[in-house]
Each structure stands twice: as C-alpha cells, then as structure tokens.
Amino acid sequence: MTNVPDTPLGKMYREHIQLILDKNIEALLDQYTDDALLISSFMKKPIIYKGRDQIREHMQGILGIDGLETDIVFWGETDDPQTLMITEQITMTTKDGEANMRFADSWVLRDGKIAIHFAGMVQHPDGSLA
C-alpha cells in the first residue's frame, strides 16, 4: 500500500484494506452506518446498495480475493464534513490469476462511519474504461 497519508482517514483506509484482505465482512460493515448507501460501478452499470444487509451482499466479492495491492494515485480529504476522494491503481490476485485495474472511491462520513460510498471502477481488468 503506497501513498496513504498519516491522517485519521488514512488510518481508516488502511484498516479498510486490511479487513478486505482478512475477508472480515462483519468488521468491514462496522465501518459503515446502518443506513449507508454504496453505489458501485464494478459491473459496468451502477448498482445501488442500501443498508447493512445489501452492502453485505456487495462485500461477498472480497471472499475471492487472495491478494490486493493498492497504489494511491490521488488522495483528497476534508474534515468538515469528513470526506475522502481517492483514485487507486489496484493489483488483485484471485483464483483466476492477477488483474490490474483502477478504482475511484469516495466516502462521506457521519459520526466517523461511512454513510455514502461511491465505489467506482475507472479502468476494468480488460483495459476498458468505465
């Protein structure tokens, strides 16, 4: 993991990635508010997940990850409101081998937890752009 600043959001991001690597979905969900909204573009069309149960459904995808390396290309955060906007170069290992892609993630926090998460794919493993 590279280019993550030593800030409270940097610490939360590091924990987020470690929880993904640990495949600890319940602890990962604890980073979200109960009524959180996650908008994902991983499947080349937007899918909206509302609340803990639907976000848990989305998080099932981490079970297939055997390795994950992130290189932060862009990091922007604010304190009031607490927000994070990042672009990541990702190298992921699954049973099908290694994949390289680029993500754009944005978080809006409420009371220290993710209330809104834009989980965006910028470049898919096949090289196509989102």
Residue-wise pLDDT tens digits, 79-112: 999 999 999 999 988 888 898 888 899 999 999 9
Q: How many CB atoms lie within 10 A of CB 69?
A: 15
Q: Is the pLDDT of residue 41 over 90?
A: no
Confidence class of residue 10 from pLDDT cuts 50, 70 and 90?
very high
Taking the complete model, does pTM exceed 0.85, yes or no? yes
Strand partners, 106: 85, 118
